[in-house]
Amino acid sequence: MKKMLLATLALLFVTGTSVFAQQNIGLNAEADYPISPADYGLTFEEIHVETPDKKEDNTNLMLFGWHLIPNDKTSRKAMIIAHNGQGNMSYALENAGIFLGMGYHVFMFDYRGYGQSDAFNVSPKFYIYAQFATDLNAMVDYVKKYHTVMTCSIYGYGIGGGLALGVGASNIKTYSVIADAPYITLESIEKTYKEMTGQKIFMPLAYDKAMIEPGNALPVKGDHLRGIMLICGANGDLIKAADVAALANYHKKVTTVYTVPGVNNDMNFESNKDEYYKQVKSFLDGLD
């Protein structure tokens, strides 16, 4: 029964809104979880992850997450899920199932201001906050501190894809990265969004470009990564397939590019889940 549930999560075809869809690219933080691993009958534990920065009361900020445990509890592979800033981590459970079905320990988490993570003012006027990179970096450190024998990979989509590349290239504890529809730089997103809509999307004012932006991180960092997978829709508008594919030039020997035919980035996963699964599995199998 448990194997059937894992397989269902890994290859589930569902109706409704894709977790990748972003009608408005501004952040949308939700506190409540409409579904949890318990609803699927999965084995999991709640985790609380401390970040290095302090809150106003001088205590460490805490992130809330789920550790999904595979059938083979002796597995030495971990995958962190970095979501797109739309809703909270619960919307990424189907994506998490891809890796759980492959035998990965899956670590899901919410950025500050999302779900049950500590409070933070998340404005829909913003595309991303620099603090989210701190949060993802804290997750990598957490996994390697408490699960030292595991390889630690990151899967991210939307803003999570960009963060996965930036943090993954910067933190030498990261084993591999899968980035679906990653931004290249924040300036390029801001300019393209303005051209497309006539509206302004706000960005952080001060941040480490080599930590947050793949276009600045990959040219100078990331030699430790065993593999990088880049995913983009062939008809991507805000984030163009050619720009994502160009990131492969920085670490050609370890980079795989999957261009999803005939779709914009909001349909990368939904358009053909079976093929998506096969492409991701092929990439990960090649790392073993």
Q: Which domains does the chain have, with CATH numbers?
A: 2-285 (3.40.50.1820)
- In order, the DSSP letters of 33-46 are -S--GGGGT--EEE
- Do β-strands 227-233 and 174-180 pair in parallel, antiparallel, or remain unpaired? parallel
**How is the chain split among helix, strand and coil, in percent rounded to 5?**
35, 20, 40
**To which H or E segment does residue 154 belong?**
strand 151-157
Q: Residues 243, 248, 249, 251: is their CA dihedral positive or negative?
A: positive
* pTM for the structure as a whole: 0.92
pLDDT on residue 57: 87
> Burial, 190: exposed, middle or buried (Cβ in 10 Å; 0-12, 13-18, 19+)?
middle
- Contact (CB, 8 A) for 122 and 113: yes
Query: Looking only at Cα atoms, what is the longest distance across the chain?
Result: 52
Which mean pLDDT values do the consecutive 10-residue runs of the chain (288 residues) have?
48 36 78 98 98 89 98 96 98 98 98 98 98 98 98 98 98 99 98 96 95 98 98 97 96 98 96 97 95
Listed residue (2, 18, 22) closest to 276, CA to CA:
18
